[in-house]
Amino acid sequence: MQVGGCSIESVTTTTGSCLCNACTYAYTGSPALKAICHCISCRKISGGSNTVNYAVPEGNFSVTGGSPKSFSKDHEYGMVLTVFFCPDCGSTLWKEATAEQLKGFKLVQAGTLTESEKLDDGVDAEFYTTTRVPWLVALSGVDKRAEF
């Protein structure tokens, strides 16, 4: 878009919420990374075989409604993992981790996105592939790592 002879790029805002809609969030721009995590902690957080995480720079992320609660735990690979969730319905909204590569990012849980079509592009990577459940096929064309 041109304004006064200057080019201005539009900024995309993505929104999300918990199951009961009591807690909402928004972020601008695109995630720095979209990844599936197969670690044991993510299994327990999700109640499933993995989580799908969108790494959003913390400066682009904001809570727009409600007051999520948090819980911190030592991760099996040495970092501290903090989970943010709705105090009413229990939905996990995002995570934060002390691993050097993850500092400064909110790990948004992709299943909480309001615009579900944002999931259509898939992911860039799979992490902790050594603990991927055996019946889940590895994704083709993405980076695969035994750890983060």
pLDDT one digit per residue (tens) for the chain, 148 residues: 455 555 556 789 999 999 999 999 999 999 999 999 999 999 999 999 999 999 999 999 999 999 999 999 988 878 899 999 999 999 999 999 988 888 999 999 999 999 999 999 999 999 999 999 999 999 999 989 988 7
Looking at the domain covering 13-143, what would its CATH class be?
Answer: mainly beta
pTM: 0.89
pLDDT for residue 4: 55
pLDDT for residue 1: 47
Domain boundaries, the chain: 13-143
Distance CA 137, CA 51 (A): 15
